[in-house]
């Protein structure tokens, strides 16, 4: 495989999914604490109160990452640890935790990738309308100011938001994530406010950084028609238009895609005249989260884009019911590069959930190794074709709280025994560590 010399190899996590310690050192509540308080929202009735106890075990976790040869680690900062009320009062103990984390990583030569928002909005801001309220964008900019001023160039890269598409659509339309709304008009307004938050945060981060890269992380998947009927082809085009182009266009072209805008009809967001310029900030990089593709059929019973996902019989599926489709990663990378001309791209998340079992102290997960091998090969092919890729961060470092699926989905390179917090490197982790070392 073909990877540049300084390429980053590592893994990713997010605050609520691994930290635990939700009531420690002055952390305020977030919408995920609230969402989990209704047990039926989470498939196993669980929550992130303890999770992987990374808040206390980060030292050992960093040591283990270093042993695996990582030179990068992506984590997120919990906004409610830094500003427990969402705005105003800064909590020094919250900043101190991320100081320990960042300094611990740097001491081991691991480049910190810091995400400011991985879905844990402070509850007091939700009480004022959450992302449906334009003010939340300015609250986020204040938070970005605090983080940028404090960490400056100590981190390698900042991402303002993780998967704003998912935060908007899964949290406000599908209702499967916090805050659990099911309103498409609200969803599109939320997505727009997230874009404003991003633009304003980029400006604040720029004011405090010289070398640190500033960007955003988006989830993407190709949409493929399951047959060649023109209505199916159109459904795939519009489905992908919502999933991929809606935010990429506004971020990099300065407007929403006209075909999708028209498809949404009266539900399109309210946009102020100056918004597009604020959103379209020059970025140093773009993180891409890739898991699978969508294979769709036209279904007139469904609202726009009339796309129903169907199964690819014969393909391998994960326990998330996501198809193994490594070619899609190469496709997405080539398409983003050609269409948007981003300076640098990196894989911010890529991985697979499987029904892992511990047998005699080991976890044999050949399918996960196959997943990583084939997706790394896709990244390598994209590099050969000239896509400016700089890193690959596997999702995830360890099994963790998988949102609405609780602890039922195991995405980790490390198996976590939640009763003892013992970590075991799965076979795929040994494979990944060898891959990194033998390059
Ligand atoms: C992504 C999220 C990440 C994790 C993976 C499986 O959408 O960013 O937190 O849940 O999916």
Whether the upstream peptide bond of residue 179 has omega within 30° of 0, thus cis, is yes
Enumerate the β-bridge partners of residue 347: 288, 392
Lookup: tokens for 190: 């939320």
CATH classification of the domain holding 254? 3.20.20.80
**Measured between alpha carbons, how far is 192 from 215 in angstroms, rounded to an integer?**
17
Q: What is the pLDDT of residues 384-403, one digit of tens each?
A: 999 999 999 999 999 999 99
Beta strands in 229-383 (DSSP E): 285-289, 294-298, 307-309, 345-349
| DSSP reduced 3-state for 177 | coil
* Separation of CA 102 and ligand 1 centre (Å): 22
| DSSP reduced 3-state for 219 | strand
* Separation of CA 162 and ligand 1 centre (Å): 9
Please tell me the predicted confidence (pLDDT) of residue 148.
99
Task: Specify the ligand 1 atom closest to the Cα of 219.
Answer: 7
**Measured between alpha carbons, how far is 298 from 236 in angstroms, rounded to an integer?**
8
237, 330, 349, 402: which one is catalytic? Answer: 349
Per-state percent for the chain, helix, strand, coil, to nearest 5 = 45, 15, 40
**Measured between alpha carbons, how far is 241 from 248 in angstroms, rounded to an integer?**
10
Lookup: tokens for 371: 């997943």
Residue 1 lies in a domain: no
User: Rg of the chain's alpha carbons, rounded to an integer?
Assistant: 20
Residue 197 lies in a domain: yes
Ramachandran area for residue 71 (φ above 0: left; ψ -120 to 50: alpha; else beta): alpha
- Count of domains forming the chain: 1
Task: Specify the ligand 1 atom closest to the Cα of 163.
Answer: 8
Q: Whose CA is nearest to atom 4 of ligand 1?
A: 402
163, 297, 330, 331: which one is catalytic? Answer: 163
Enumerate the β-bridge partners of residue 199: none
406: nearest Cα among 113, 48, 120: 48
Pocket test residue of 347, 349, 400 for ligand 1, highest count of atoms within 8 A of CB:
349
Range of the domain at 361: 8-437
Please tell me the predicted confidence (pLDDT) of residue 331.
98
Please tell me the predicted confidence (pLDDT) of residue 225.
98
CA dihedral defined by 267, 270, 275, 280, rounded to 10 degrees? 0
Enumerate the β-bridge partners of residue 433: none
The answer to whether 163 is a known catalytic residue is yes
Provide the 8-state DSSP code for 287.
Answer: E
Please tell me the predicted confidence (pLDDT) of residue 408.
98
Residue 176 lies in a domain: yes
Residue 3 lies in a domain: no
* Separation of CA 351 and ligand 1 centre (Å): 9
**Measured between alpha carbons, how far is 12 from 39 in angstroms, rounded to an integer?**
27
Please tell me the predicted confidence (pLDDT) of residue 313.
96
Please tell me the predicted confidence (pLDDT) of residue 411.
99
Each residue's pLDDT tens digit in the chain (439 positions)? 889 999 999 999 999 999 999 999 999 999 999 999 999 999 999 999 999 999 999 999 999 999 999 999 999 999 999 999 999 999 999 999 999 999 999 999 999 999 999 999 999 999 999 999 999 999 999 999 999 999 999 999 999 999 999 999 999 999 999 999 999 999 999 999 999 999 999 999 999 999 999 999 999 999 999 999 999 999 999 999 999 999 999 999 999 999 999 999 999 999 999 999 999 999 999 999 999 999 999 999 999 999 999 999 999 999 999 999 999 999 999 999 999 999 999 999 999 999 999 999 999 999 999 999 999 999 999 999 999 999 999 999 999 999 999 999 999 999 999 999 999 999 999 999 999 999 8
Pocket test residue of 163, 220, 404 for ligand 1, highest count of atoms within 8 A of CB:
163
Confirm or reject: Cβ of 402 under 6 Å from ligand 1. yes
Q: Which helix (H) or strand (E) holds 157?
A: strand 157-162
- For the stretch 205-211, contacts whose Cβ atoms lie closer than 8 Å and that sit 24 or more positions apart, written own/partner, are 205/144, 205/147, 205/148, 205/158, 205/160, 207/145, 207/148, 208/145, 208/148, 208/149, 208/152, 209/148, 209/152, 209/153, 209/158, 210/153, 211/153
């Amino acid at each position: 495989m073909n990877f540049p010399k300084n390429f980053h190899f590592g893994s990713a996590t997010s605050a609520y999914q691994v930290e635990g310690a939700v009531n420690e050192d002055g952390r305020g509540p977030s919408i995920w604490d609230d969402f989990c308080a209704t047990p039926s929202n989470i498939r196993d009735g669980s929550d992130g109160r303890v999770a992987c106890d990374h808040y206390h075990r980060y030292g050992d976790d960093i040591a283990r990452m270093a042993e695996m040869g990582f030179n990068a680690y992506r984590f997120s900062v919990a906004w409610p640890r830094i500003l427990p009320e969402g705005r105003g009062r800064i909590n020094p103990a919250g900043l101190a935790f991320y100081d320990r984390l960042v300094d611990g990583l740097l001491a081991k030569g691991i480049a910190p990738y810091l995400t400011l928002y991985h879905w844990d909005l402070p509850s007091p801001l939700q009480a004022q309308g959450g992302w449906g309220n334009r003010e939340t964008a300015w609250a986020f900019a204040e938070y970005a100011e605090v983080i940028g001023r404090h960490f400056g160039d100590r981190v390698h890269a900042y991402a303002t938001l993780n998967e704003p598409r998912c935060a908007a659509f899964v949290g406000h339309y599908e209702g499967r994530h916090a805050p659990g709304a099911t309103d498409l008009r609200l969803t599109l307004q939320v997505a727009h406010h997230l874009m404003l938050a991003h633009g304003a945060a980029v400006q604040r981060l720029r004011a405090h950084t010289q070398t640190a890269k500033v960007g955003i992380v988006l989830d993407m998947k190709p949409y493929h028609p399951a047959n060649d009927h023109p209505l199916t082809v159109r459904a795939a085009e519009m489905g992908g238009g919502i999933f991929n182009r809606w935010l990429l266009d506004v971020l990099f072209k300065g407007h929403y895609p006209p075909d999708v805008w028209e498809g949404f009809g009266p539900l399109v967001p309210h946009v102020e005249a100056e918004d597009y310029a604020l959103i379209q900030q020059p970025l140093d990089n773009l993180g891409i989260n890739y898991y699978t593709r969508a294979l769709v059929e036209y279904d007139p019973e469904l609202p726009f884009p009339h796309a129903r996902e169907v199964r690819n019989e014969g393909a391998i599926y994960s326990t998330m019911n996501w198809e193994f489709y490594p070619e899609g990663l190469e496709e997405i990378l080539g398409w983003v590069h050609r269409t948007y001309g981003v300076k640098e791209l990196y894989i911010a998340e890529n991985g697979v959930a499987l029904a892992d079992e511990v047998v005699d102290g080991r976890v044999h997960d050949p399918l996960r190794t196959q997943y990583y091998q084939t997706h790394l090969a896709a990244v390598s092919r994209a590099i050969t074709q000239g896509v400016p890729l700089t890193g690959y961060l596997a999702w995830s470092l360890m099994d963790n709280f998988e949102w609405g699926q609780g602890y039922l989905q195991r995405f980790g390179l490390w198996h976590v025994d939640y009763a003892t917090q013992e970590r075991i490197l799965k076979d795929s982790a040994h494979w990944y560590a060898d891959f990194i070392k033998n390059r």
